Amino acid sequence: MSSFPPLTNDLLLRAARQEPIPRTPVWMMRQAGRYLPEYQAVRSTHEFFDVVRTPALAAEVTLQPVERFPIDAAIIFSDILVIPQVLGLEVQMVKGKGPHFPDPLAEPADLSRLRTPDPATDLDYVLEALTLTRQRLNGRCPLIGFSGAPWTLMAYSIEGGGSKNFSASKRWLYRYPEASHELLQRITDTVIDYLDHQIQAGAQYVQVFDSWAGLLPQPLFETFALPYLAQIAEALTERHPDVPRVVFAKGAHYALDALADTDYSVISLDWTMDPAEARATVGSRAALQGNLDPSALYATPDDIRAQVRRMLDAFGPTGHIANLGHGMHPDHQPAHAGAFVDAVHAISEELRAADAPAGG
Amino acid sequence: MSSFPPLTNDLLLRAARQEPIPRTPVWMMRQAGRYLPEYQAVRSTHEFFDVVRTPALAAEVTLQPVERFPIDAAIIFSDILVIPQVLGLEVQMVKGKGPHFPDPLAEPADLSRLRTPDPATDLDYVLEALTLTRQRLNGRCPLIGFSGAPWTLMAYSIEGGGSKNFSASKRWLYRYPEASHELLQRITDTVIDYLDHQIQAGAQYVQVFDSWAGLLPQPLFETFALPYLAQIAEALTERHPDVPRVVFAKGAHYALDALADTDYSVISLDWTMDPAEARATVGSRAALQGNLDPSALYATPDDIRAQVRRMLDAFGPTGHIANLGHGMHPDHQPAHAGAFVDAVHAISEELRAADAPAGG
């Protein structure tokens, strides 16, 4: 493991540990991306996966929002579909359409097409990007690593891209439960190894994105998603107990209590979840991350501030990492993202001052 | 109002009134559709909106699942986008892509492009299809009418079709709240008039589809969706107190309690909702409809029966209308839909027999 400059802002990590802190940290899912003109400039001369695979470019794009906004975390620029890629599936990024697998998994026999990857070598470009970014961050804020969750990666690998109902992948769960478990376990093993290496390479907080959790009824989530999510958190806790583990199970509103019983330190909430109810359900079992509706950034800066105030009030000052309930949109205005970040900082300090004992 | 043959199967209506009944009624959202070869045969010579606009064809397609399965309801073959059409927006159905508005509403000024429709004349083809279908049903089971909900129709009218985040329409809610309310009220007025005429034309149970409710955080749902849903139920209750009103707010898991306080007689649940918890929340304020995961129909008939048993156990025998948690998929096998229907009938009778007092 390299030696890195000490952190001058560790609010993210302290919030994840539910420690008292002077203000609420904030970052945004997809904070490096198409809404930033400086990102568009890089993409004008480089394909999406070229940026992902070139550590200097990935680091540059990762740092763009850190240079522009006083945010409390950087998240490495990469893609959850690098795992299906190293498992042996081709993934293309089609402009205006999103990811496309020319030859997805169709039937259980196709599992024989998968190879057993070695993230240390197969995904060395992500690990190098993490190390380079961590150095270039120079301690300004923590660096976040991430992976797709097993069910979400299974869904893409079978569906071959976005889909209305993800019916092909759900069909596997109902029709081929054993093959589904085999695929999920293979993905899980790779994800654990990958995130382990990400932490060794410099990631200080790791998030698992189960973007399609909400496609599953609760019994299916508990059979095919939760056990693999839990395995990941458990293995990482054993190897890196001090690195917060974060789970974002989008749409799985029924899963909060079960996720709080796993080894995740932080549960990230989508915009449909009520912060106060989530806090009541989770208690002190995990910190909470989220969850302003990304579309709220279309509002005026004054309205954004009013919404941030409601959000911070509802989550309370301890164990909350401010974020959106999903990623930035390509047509968001950077100034509105800035208004969001500034509002979290200013209002969370103001609320703490108001709560402090007189003369304290 | 025409005079129609008396119903020989009114289980749907009695379940909606939460009366004790000998078995649980069942129908399926999108039960008339592409998974049926007899539907494909009609579509091979007629465009989608030609079927919708030709009462004899709409009636024929509506009756196809009734001829094939012993289901307890027919639902008129139509589309929720007929309302934007009569408001003056062009809607095309693009093969493999879904609905497309060549010229959607972009900014509030575009509201001036909308006309004030008269459903009695503008949508006479739906009303004629209802009357014809009701006659041809000959009392075999009740006939269901439906409409899109105001927010969902607003979302399509601004987005111009399906969308990843529906960010254009959500932008209106945050940026143009007054124009949004104006649009929602205009749609609501039309929906009320439309459903009133549907009932006069023969509909015996009317469902309002808020397919995109889950895009909204709870405060937005309560501001821009719920009040208009409530208006519709209230107006129909006043005009037709005996006709059950059904609401399907897909994805709005947080809305159950609020919906139970409106004048809807039935709340339709998507597949992410836990039936027992929903029953505990709603109590006797409404009957419940749903909610097997449509993808469960990819399972074997034996597995479908096991899942139906769990569903019926969880909902209990009173005030439950069995259905899927969303519509049939185009690649479903008709025999599996048949297994679902048969399982609901057989198992719901069996469960009632097991609960009956000895010698009773």
Q: Which residue reads 């990811």 in tokens?
A: A99
List for chain B the helix, strand, coil content (%; round to 5).
50, 10, 35
| Pairwise CB contact (< 8 Å): B298 & A214 | no
Domains recognised in chain A with CATH numbers: 11-355 (3.20.20.210)
Q: Which residue reads 């004030």 in tokens?
A: B116
- Enumerate the residues of chain B whose CB falls inside 8 A of the CB of residue A218: 272, 274
Extended strands (E) in chain B: 74-75, 92-94, 98-100, 143-148, 205-210, 245-249, 266-268, 287-292, 320-324
| Pairwise CB contact (< 8 Å): B298 & A326 | no
| Distance (Å) from the alpha carbon of A307 to chain B's nearest alpha carbon | 11
| Cα B109 to chain centroid, rounded | 32
| Pairwise CB contact (< 8 Å): B170 & A295 | yes
Residue A44, C-beta contacts closer than 8 angstroms, at least 6 positions apart: none
| Distance (Å) from the alpha carbon of A7 to chain B's nearest alpha carbon | 35
| Pairwise CB contact (< 8 Å): B175 & A296 | no
Residue B221 in tokens: 């749902």
CA triplet B302, B303, B305: central angle to 5 degrees?
65
CA dist., res. B155 & res. A77, Å (int):
32
Nearest residue in chain A measured CA to CA from B215: A272
So what's the pLDDT on residue B359? 53
Weakest mean pLDDT among A192-201, B1-10, B274-283? B1-10
So what's the pLDDT on residue A355? 81
The catalytic residues of B are 30, 34, 43, 79, 156
Q: Which residue reads 């109590």 in tokens?
A: B283
Summarised one tens digit per residue, pLDDT across range B80-109 is 999 999 999 999 988 878 899 999 999 999
The interface predicted TM-score of the complex, written ipTM, equals 0.94
So what's the pLDDT on residue B51? 97
Q: Residues A43, A68, A285, A352: which is the catalytic one? A: A43
Q: Residues A34, A68, A305, A352: which is the catalytic one? A: A34
| Cα B167 to chain centroid, rounded | 24
- Enumerate the residues of chain A whose CB falls inside 8 A of the CB of residue B252: 272
| Pairwise CB contact (< 8 Å): B220 & A325 | no
Residue B360 binned pLDDT confidence (cut-offs 50, 70, 90):
very low
- Rounded mean pLDDT, B323-333: 97
Which residues, listed in sequence order, are joined to residue A74 by a DSSP beta bridge? A143
| Pairwise CB contact (< 8 Å): B217 & A325 | yes
So what's the pLDDT on residue A360? 44
| Pairwise CB contact (< 8 Å): A295 & B218 | no
Residue B356 binned pLDDT confidence (cut-offs 50, 70, 90):
confident
- Enumerate the residues of chain B whose CB falls inside 8 A of the CB of residue A175: 298-300
| Selection from B240, B55, B28 nearest residue B135 by Cα | B55
Average pLDDT, chain B: 96
| Distance (Å) from the alpha carbon of B276 to chain A's nearest alpha carbon | 12
Among B220, B223, B274, B298, most A C-beta atoms within 10 A, so best to mutate, is B298
| pLDDT by residue, tens only, chain A of 360 residues | 568 999 999 999 999 999 999 999 999 999 999 999 999 999 999 999 999 999 999 999 999 999 999 999 999 999 999 999 999 999 998 887 889 999 999 999 999 999 999 999 999 999 999 999 999 999 999 999 999 999 999 999 999 998 888 999 999 999 999 999 999 999 999 999 999 999 999 999 999 999 999 999 999 999 999 999 999 999 999 999 999 999 999 999 999 999 999 999 999 999 999 999 999 999 999 999 999 999 999 999 999 999 999 999 999 999 999 999 999 999 999 999 999 999 999 999 999 998 876 654
Q: Torsions phi, psi of A314, nearest 5? A: -70, -35
CA dist., res. B109 & res. B123, Å (int):
26
Q: Torsions phi, psi of B93, nearest 5? A: -105, 110
State yes or no: is A79 an active-site residue.
yes
CA dist., res. B191 & res. B231, Å (int):
10
Nearest residue in chain A measured CA to CA from B218: A272
Among A174, A291, A307, A308, most B C-beta atoms within 10 A, so best to mutate, is A174
Residue B205 in tokens: 């149970």
Which of B299, B300, B331 has the CB atom closest to A167's CB atom? B331
| Selection from B292, B248, B288, B285 nearest residue B80 by Cα | B248
Residue A95 in tokens: 């402009």
Among A30, A174, A253, A295, most B C-beta atoms within 10 A, so best to mutate, is A295
- Enumerate the residues of chain A whose CB falls inside 8 A of the CB of residue B272: 214, 216-218, 251-254
Summarised one tens digit per residue, pLDDT across range A43-60 is 999 999 999 999 999 999
| Distance (Å) from the alpha carbon of B342 to chain A's nearest alpha carbon | 19
State yes or no: is A43 an active-site residue.
yes
So what's the pLDDT on residue B2? 61
Residue B130, C-beta contacts closer than 8 angstroms, at least 6 positions apart: B76, B143, B145, B198, B201, B202, B203
| Distance (Å) from the alpha carbon of B295 to chain A's nearest alpha carbon | 6
Alpha helices (runs of H) in A138-255, residue ranges in sequence order: 150-159, 167-175, 177-201, 218-220, 226-239
- Rounded mean pLDDT, B232-261: 98
So what's the pLDDT on residue B265? 98
